[in-house]
Amino acid sequence: MAKLYIRISEGRIYAKNLDSGAVFDEPALLAVSESNGRKLIVAVGENVARAVSETGALRVAPFDTHPRVLVDDFDSASAVFKYAVKQVTGRSFIAPTAILHVTKNLAGGLSAIEKRALQELAQSAGLRGIKILDDPAVVNYTPEQLEEYLKAI
């Protein structure tokens, strides 16, 4: 069973498979177009700018548009989350566990509703055994300190 570390920060999503070392680190963006009343995802991450200019798709930033709210568009956030998880896990029949870490500066920290939204985002991406890091001290950890912290939990 794979163990993932997923960090949501200002405009980015970082996912690392702690077992294989596979990493996804791209902007938390989608390019969305509409066809026959249905929204279609045209691109994710770094490919969004090109897709928007070439196809006229709409740029969506599900984690960035509000200073107080973590997730502004749940469906789009779910699509970004699923894509990031798939990039670091590939095809797996065993649901990975995950450590979620939000470093976006939110006034007052994560609310119970935001924690629930994170749980549901992770579950929609096929993750189980989800732990949310909400220790304020962890936000300022160096990558080395964070690796040690993750080994300990």
CATH value at residue 79: 3.30.420.40
Each residue's pLDDT tens digit, 55-96: 889 999 888 766 677 888 888 899 999 999 999 998 777 889
Residue 54 is assigned to a structural domain of this protein: no
**Number of domains into which the chain is organized:** 1
Q: What is the DSSP string of 60-79?
A: E-TTTS-SS-S-S-HHHHHH
pTM equals: 0.84
Question: Which amino acid, 121?
Answer: L
Residue 111 is assigned to a structural domain of this protein: yes
Residue 13 is assigned to a structural domain of this protein: yes
Q: Pick 144 or 16 by higher pLDDT.
A: 16
Which structural domain range is residue 108 located in? 3-27+67-152
Each residue's pLDDT tens digit, 82-132: 999 999 998 777 889 999 988 776 667 788 888 999 999 999 999 998 999
Helix (H, G, I), strand (E, B) or coil at 107: coil
Residue 46 is assigned to a structural domain of this protein: no
Residue 9 is assigned to a structural domain of this protein: yes
Residue 39 is assigned to a structural domain of this protein: no
Angle at 106 between CA 105 and CA 108, to 5 degrees: 130
